[in-house]
Amino acid sequence: MTIEQLATAVLDACEKEGVHHMLTGAFAHGLYGIPRSTKDVDVVLSVASGNPIERVVRRLEGVVQFEQQVKFDTLTWGKRLVGESTGMPPFKIALFELFDDPFVQSQFQRRRRMFSTQIQRETWLPTPEDVVVQKLRWGRSKDLDDARDVLAVQGPETLDMPYIEKWCALHGTVPRLLEALAGIPPLD
pLDDT, tens digit (0-9, with 9 covering 90-100), for 122-132: 999 999 999 99
What's the CA gap between 85 and 63, in Å, rounded? 6
Global pTM exceeds 0.85: yes
* Percent of the chain residues topping a pLDDT of 70: 96
What's the CA gap between 109 and 96, in Å, rounded? 15
Looking at residue 188, its pLDDT comes to 63
What's the CA gap between 157 and 15, in Å, rounded? 35
Per-residue pLDDT at 74 exceeds 60 = no
Mean pLDDT in residue range 82-97: 92
Looking at residue 76, its pLDDT comes to 55
Dihedral pair phi/psi, residue 183, rounded to 5°: -85, -5
Question: Which residue, among 112, 114, 103, 93, has the nearest Cα to 25 in the 3D structure?
Answer: 93
Mean pLDDT in residue range 42-57: 87
Looking at residue 2, its pLDDT comes to 93
Looking at residue 50, its pLDDT comes to 74
Q: How confident is the model at residue 72 (pLDDT cuts 50, 70, 90)?
A: low
